[in-house]
Structure 1
Amino acid sequence: MSYPRNVLPVKKRYALSWYLTGALTARTGDEMSGPALLLAAYALTGSAARASVLLAAATVAAAVGGPVLGVLLDRAERPDRLLAAALALHALGLAAVLLTLDRLPFPLTLLLAVLSGLPGPALSAGWTARMPLTTSRAAALDAMTFDAASLAGPSLAALVTRLSSAQAAVVTAVTLICTAIPAALRLPGRGAGGSEPAAPRRPESATASGVSGSAVSAPVGEGPLRVRVLAGARYVLARPALAAVTAGSVVSSVGQGVLTACVPLLGERVLGGAADGALLPALAAGSALVANAVHARRAPGADPVRVMCAGALSQAAGAALAVAAGAADTADTAAVTLVLASALVIGAGEGPQLAGLFAVRHRETPERLRGQVFTTGASAKITGFALGAAGGGALGTWSLTGALLTAATLQLAAARVTAGRA
């Protein structure tokens, strides 16, 4: 008699193993695709500006595609199939970008990059929305797939590029994303009895009470996407602390985009090759993980606004170290040490800064508006990063030192804006 009671938990644990396997594979491919595409565009076109614009096009599209994909997944009868289709379209778009690079007019390749980026959020928010179990342990395991992918993706891109070519790195990223499609199809579908909702739908309205001039009222998860986005944006603007940290995070994201565009140039000038520059984001990601662990253990009650300001200042210091490394006449040991140290210092700021941002959002936002506020803030950050990457590539081609100084200045400005001082 005990067997039937155990069938569902066993099935859920089995589905969770498929979920985690697919999530890690897909997210590693996604984290790998960014630097791989950047390196491939730089290798084929010889232009850092074009390479960064290409990356920015795909990134901006993800800011638009994320909320839309979330609505479609919520309403789909078979969200598992929609998720698998989104993965396939994302992989197909990346392959099309690679095939057309330096073969077709660059504007057409940019258009393909935009189209490939639209279903890209399926690898992050789409997977999380289909998590079979909603326990704290399952959520922690899901978060670990992000951390592992952010470390493995750029490192794998650099390794494949070094052993073969940047084009092969893009192909490898596409293969990893496609490999996750069977796992997506094995996730429980709606009404299959094998999954729990990642976020239970609340009957209360998502009215932005207390927001001047706001009369938006729609149940959470219902209503037009435009209504939900506007409700979140109005609430952010009405809360001074929330508006300050959101604006500061966007300015910081612009600076991070500028730094990312400089990665191939730094690798070529200091590390011996553009491909080696892809190791810098992986090093920064590892530093961010360690910094967050230390912060959570040593200073869990610290003021999150001050933590965010310190994170931005740390990134400014890291950019300054990169300036010193990039200004070296030769790629000597001192320059290599400086550029590696810059990645570590930048990551040490990025990790706590993001944790502080989440803490302020949770503190300042009522539960009924939390989804809208987080979505609004994330979209703004993605857009800021894309703008920084687009401008950073052109600026870096003209002057690497100028681009890195711009990134440092933006981080200093982010610290001031975060603290509420424009």
Structure 2
Amino acid sequence: MAARTGDEMSGPALLLAGLALSGSPVPGSWLLAGLTASAAVGGPLLGALLDRAGRPGRMVGWCLLGYTAGLLAVLLGLGRLPDAALVAVAALAGLLGPALTGGWTSQLPLVVPPDRLARANALDAISYNVAGLVGPAAVAAVAAATSGQTAVLVSAALLLAAVPPAWTLPPRRPTPAPGNATASDATATDGAASDGAATDDTTTTGAAAGGTAAGGAALRRELAAGFGAIARNASLRRATATSMVSFCGVAVLVVGTPLLGAELTGEASYGALLLAVTAAAALAANTAAARLRRWEPRPDTVLAGSTLLLGAAMALAAGVAHTGGPFALAVLAAALAGAAEGPQLTALLAVRHREAPPRLRGQIFTTGASLKITSYAGGAALAGPLAAYDLGAALLAGAMLQALAAGVYRLLSRPSGRLREPSGTSAAG
């Protein structure tokens, strides 16, 4: 929870710090884009390494330390170093960002039995919502009392507090290879099946233990297997593509909300409070869904419906920006956005848990997270200049991206073979 709260604080805190020092949303939005753009590179690699690691929690701990160091370096350089240099530092830190999201979630099977995984997934999604609620609210409170720079420090402290729990996550449980495993399955089985021992992959290929070339070849095969699991499985492919387009629009909402609060009230901190309203609504929606035992819609259906609702919420926010108020309508738009975001995330995680082959779970979660984060970076990079020109137009563009995401979902739902492949098929690997 500490890591996710610190992560949720880091983006708004950087936005407010950049806005305070420059008076423009552009530097802050570019820092946010730099922090998230490199996730496309870091996510798949981190996922492969997590799948190979005997103690994946320790790798998550090192990633937390590196991400924190990057945030502090950006903070120290604000107002002292060129913006381009700070964006580069943020991009280096962003390589580790997927470990703070998908990296944690992919470790659920290590701490809960299979029959409790569905409930654990729902609680895990709720923890994202709680962090999304506490993070922006904490940024608003700290920024109002002190400054955006102090909010960055608080974010870093929370990230550091999460290192000891990550370090003590249990080791990966040995997974004996099935008797009818194919050669490709044996190759895809990662070395994390034994705590620090040589990988099955290395054994299968006959490579020399510890050989650099063999290790690199094995890692490349595992990276290809992770992408293949998403590309070849219809449900994973559809959910990933839909969430990428949708999250690009969510970045517009995150960048535009502080500006909307500032325009309507004269205080940018009210924008962070609007983000807290969004997170509170997401938490409430997920909590209510968790209590509905009699009606459990397919996560794929929830993913599509929540994306449409998110688009409607952003369209309402755009209308508020164009008309200049009232602030109560901005609160309503934020609440509707949260009521969509919460179930959308839960549905996405449920699809990944349902479809991911166990041997590729870490890669699928971190690769999926990295693709979303990178899409978010693109949205953040465009949102700053567009919001500076016309905030209402920026929010309307975000709403249109949600409509596009719903269209992508519909397009990828057209029959073209099986909708869902069994999670254990070799095609996924």
Q: Which interval holds the TM-score relative to the shorter structure?
A: 0.7 to 0.9
8 Å contact from structure 2 (residues 35, 94) kept in 1: yes
1:134 aligned to which of 94, 108, 112: 112
Stretch of structure 1 that moved more, 258-267 or 79-88: 79-88
Shift of 1:118: 2.6
Q: Which runs of 5+ in 2 are unaligned?
A: 192-198, 202-217, 415-429
Stretch of structure 1 that moved more, 346-355 or 224-233: 224-233
Question: Structure 1 residues 341 and 372 mapped into 2: Cα distance closer, same or farther (>3 Å)?
Answer: same
1:314 aligned to which of 309, 313, 332: 309
Deviations along 1:222-261, whole A, 9 cap, x unmatched?
A: 6644323322333433344443332221111111112112
Letter in 1 for 2:403: L
Partner of 2:150: 168
Equivalent position SS for 1:168:
helix
Query: What RMSD over aligned residues (CA atoms) do the two structures have, in Å?
Result: 3.4
Indicate yes or no: 2:407 matched with 1:407: no
Deviations along 1:281-322, whole A, 9 cap, x unmatched?
A: 222122112222333444743243332221111111101110
Percent identity of the aligned residues?
Answer: 44
Equivalent position SS for 2:374:
helix
Letter in 1 for 2:331: L
1:55 aligned to which of 32, 52, 63: 32
Letter in 1 for 2:337: I
Partner of 2:274: 280
Question: Structure 1 residues 139 and 316 mapped into 2: Cα distance closer, same or farther (>3 Å)?
Answer: closer
8 Å contact from structure 1 (residues 64, 379) kept in 2: yes
Partner of 1:348: 339
Map 1:382-397 → 2, pairs under 5 A: 382-397=373-388
Deviations along 1:169-203, whole A, 9 cap, x unmatched?
A: 11121222234445555x26xxxxxx353x65453
Partner of 2:349: 358
Equivalent position SS for 2:323:
coil
Distance in structure 1 (CA, Å) of the matches to 2:153 and 2:314: 31
Shift of 1:25: 2.6
2:137 aligned to which of 139, 147, 155: 155
Map 1:2-401 → 2, pairs under 5 A: 24-72=1-49, 82-126=59-103, 133-135=111-113, 136=116, 139=120, 145-184=127-166, 187=168, 195-197=170-172, 201=175, 203=177, 217-220=187-190, 224-298=218-292, 300-329=295-324, 335-364=326-355, 366-401=357-392
Distance in structure 2 (CA, Å) of the matches to 1:261 and 1:215: 44
8 Å contact from structure 1 (residues 259, 389) kept in 2: no
8 Å contact from structure 2 (residues 310, 340) kept in 1: yes
Shift of 1:375: 3.6
Letter in 1 for 2:273: L
TM, length-normalised to structure 2: 0.78
Distance in structure 2 (CA, Å) of the matches to 1:303 and 1:218: 29
8 Å contact from structure 1 (residues 305, 418) kept in 2: no
Letter in 2 for 1:152: V
Shift of 1:101: 1.5
Question: Structure 1 residues 237 and 348 mapped into 2: Cα distance closer, same or farther (>3 Å)?
Answer: same
Deviations along 1:150-178, whole A, 9 cap, x unmatched?
A: 22111101100001111111112122223
Letter in 2 for 1:348: A
8 Å contact from structure 2 (residues 47, 364) kept in 1: no
Distance in structure 2 (CA, Å) of the matches to 1:402 and 1:102: 30
Equivalent position SS for 1:295:
helix
Question: Structure 1 residues 179 and 196 mapped into 2: Cα distance closer, same or farther (>3 Å)?
Answer: closer
Distance in structure 2 (CA, Å) of the matches to 1:202 and 1:257: 43
Question: Structure 1 residues 202 and 248 mapped into 2: Cα distance closer, same or farther (>3 Å)?
Answer: farther
Question: Structure 1 residues 280 and 38 mapped into 2: Cα distance closer, same or farther (>3 Å)?
Answer: same
Equivalent position SS for 1:302:
coil
Partner of 1:8: none
Distance in structure 1 (CA, Å) of the matches to 2:323 and 2:345: 32
Deviations along 1:105-132, whole A, 9 cap, x unmatched?
A: 1111011111222333444455567788
Higher relative contact order (CA 8 A, sep 6+): 2
Distance in structure 2 (CA, Å) of the matches to 1:348 and 1:181: 31
Distance in structure 1 (CA, Å) of the matches to 2:260 and 2:178: 52
Distance in structure 2 (CA, Å) of the matches to 1:48 and 1:322: 18
Distance in structure 1 (CA, Å) of the matches to 2:288 and 2:79: 46
8 Å contact from structure 1 (residues 216, 231) kept in 2: no
Distance in structure 2 (CA, Å) of the matches to 1:360 and 1:90: 28
8 Å contact from structure 2 (residues 71, 90) kept in 1: yes
Letter in 1 for 2:74: V
8 Å contact from structure 1 (residues 73, 82) kept in 2: yes
Question: Structure 1 residues 183 and 324 mapped into 2: Cα distance closer, same or farther (>3 Å)?
Answer: same
Letter in 2 for 1:304: P
8 Å contact from structure 1 (residues 57, 110) kept in 2: yes
8 Å contact from structure 1 (residues 94, 113) kept in 2: yes
8 Å contact from structure 1 (residues 246, 418) kept in 2: no
Distance in structure 2 (CA, Å) of the matches to 1:145 and 1:240: 28
